[in-house]
A and B are shown apart, each in its own frame.
Chain A
Amino acid sequence: MKILVPVKRVIDANIKVRVSADNSAVDLNNVKMSMNPFCEIAVEEAVRLKEKGIASEIVAITIGDEKSQEQLRTAMALGVDRSIWIEQAGNIEPLSIAKLLKAVVDKESPDLVILGKQSIDGDNNQVGQMLAALCNMPQGTFAYKLEIEDGRAIVSREIDGGEQVVSLALPAVVTTDLRLNEPRYAKLPDIMKAKKKPIDHLTPADLGIEISSSLKTLSVKEPAGRSAGVIVNSAQELIDKLRNEAKVIS
């Protein structure tokens, strides 16, 4: 079984972002960038399926500028066999990402595509579902457990109010939730080995895809801040304030 894992380079999850002075974007100059945490989980899940003998090959793919190759190297250090880099700088809308991924799915014919459920920069939560639609594949989003049984993917999903299990015919699209697994760290020898693994370089034009955009960002602003309130000294004082000052409890 072949698994395709799309990964995205994003601002590191521990960094608090700043909005640029002209309110046009978020300032990404000189900030630490990493693999999107949900994509790390996707890579980990694919590697585990290979370790269990279920998967035979894992291909990572990213759409981004030159530097996004770093995330492909990381993925390969974690156990991905080879990578595809689609060179396209700038902010690309999820639908275009999904179209590019579909073009690669058509070429590679994977049995499973595992994506993160959400990129932590745009917080879109779209690409996996869009890819599934474009490829006419079933989708198992927000997965916290994934099993392959009798040629189907059994996906346990985190949903509002509880959990749901669906059974999907392969090929299928799965998106990861945080609870699916805990990603490993890359070991130094594996990081060295990953430098020799191949990265295929493509452009959207090679795939016959035109990048389009239907959303225009008019402004990016800092949300109204909250200022710290008061520190109370006792449970008694807290309850008094909530009852008589904030009037939120009776």
Chain B
Amino acid sequence: MSVLVIAEHNNKKLNALTGNVITAAAKIDADVHILVAGNDCSAVAESSAEYDGVSKVLLADKPSHEHHLPESLGPLVIELATNYTAILLAASTTGKNLAPRVAALLDVAQISDIVAVEAADTFVRPVYAGNALATVQSNDSIKIITVRTSAFDETASGNTKAPIEYVDFALEQDSSRFVSENLAVSERPELAAASIVISGGRGLGSAENFQILEKLADKLGAAIGASRAAVDAGYVGNDLQVGQTGKIVAPDLYIAVGISGAIQHLAGMKDSKVIVAINSDADAPIFQVADYGLVADLFQVLPEIDALLS
């Protein structure tokens, strides 16, 4: 039997996170299929077909799938589910929205946010804000899994081309209607995929001051992140939040500026390769996980760093 990965995309472009989910899926079973559900999304199916190891792409192209509402996608996935031993999604807001709905309809458990595949039925997942790692074994015939994409490399693509098969299934429903969407547009790399992330916390003090970070980010080719306190204070949008309840990142370099290092924040970044902390309080817990700490007023050192990078 095969495993199914549900592609993440915006109908035009495949989200690269899908490639990380495929890596996890291939550790469960070598025969990986991809489901591309959306509207007018054949380009996404084309790029999905190019991932190494993918043997088939299922394309469910219907107006009702356009906004990936779980009320409409759930029944579609159920239709296909019996052909698979596992169905995997990214632990993104889209994946988290859909996966439990599918699991409940199939009357099986869902395994959230896996960071390792130990065996086809055994997975490792962080619990308690990443303060413990649980190894769980599932006896369900179909395993519904969300994947912490930062824990898996992206599968290579461009060497092969899998066949694309059409799935003719749509369920008209009016219980849930899409109203609107407001997506941040940025020239910077995506937070979840960036190799350098520079995050600001309450210490930044204002939305204007975040511009200092943005200048640095542009010089470093970095993505911007933030603590929950910075989001709550309205300095930046919630989509930049890093942590237990925000995005989980593991870049090569993570620079935390004016962030104290609460466990909920650490949960989202402590697997970064190199961590830098800039904080005026030498006792801030962030220094306990930082490879390089600079105890200083950020308003003094950020301009210095900016000058040194020029």
Contact = CB atoms under 8 A, between A and B. Distances in A.
Contact of A166 (B122, B177, B228, B301): B177
B253 A248 contact: yes
B129 A123 contact: yes
Nearest to A225: B289
A140 B93 CA distance: 12
A89 interface: no
B304 A236 contact: yes
Given A123-B127, A138-B175, A249-B253, A228 B288 contact: yes
Interface string B20-57: 00000000000000000000000000000000000000
Given A123-B244, A169-B174, A242-B292, A223 B126 contact: yes
A26 B130 CA distance: 12
Contacts of B182: 162-164
Interface stretch (B97-105, B162-170, B201-209): B97-105
Interface stretch (B58-66, B79-87, B133-141, B153-161): B133-141
B273 A248 contact: yes
A236 B292 CA distance: 12
B101 A130 contact: yes
Contact of A215 (B111, B183, B293): B111
A4 interface: no
B104 A129 contact: yes
B103 to A, nearest CB: 7
A225 to B, nearest CB: 9
Interface residues of A, number: 79
Given A162-B237, A168-B175, A216-B136, A16 B109 contact: no
Nearest to B288: A228
A81 interface: no
Given A167-B177, A169-B174, A141 B96 contact: yes
A215 B177 contact: no
Query: Which residue, A121, A128, A138, A214, has most C-beta atoms of chain B within 10 A?
Result: A214
A118 interface: yes
A217 interface: yes
A133 B253 contact: no
A161 B309 contact: no
Interface in B260-297: 263-264, 270, 273-276, 282, 287-296
A98 interface: yes
Contact of A133 (B96, B101, B287): B101
Interface string A212-233: 0011111111110010111111
B308 A246 contact: no
Contact of A217 (B74, B136, B220): B136
A122 to B, nearest CB: 6
12 contacts: A121-B128, A130-B110, A169-B176, A214-B140, A217-B136, A222-B132, A226-B289, A228-B289, A232-B293, A235-B305, A238-B276, A246-B253
Interface of B: 67, 69-71, 74, 92-94, 96-105, 107-113, 122, 126-140, 174-184, 192, 196, 220, 228, 231-232, 237-239, 244-245, 247, 252-253, 263-264, 270, 273-276, 282, 287-296, 301, 304-305, 308-309
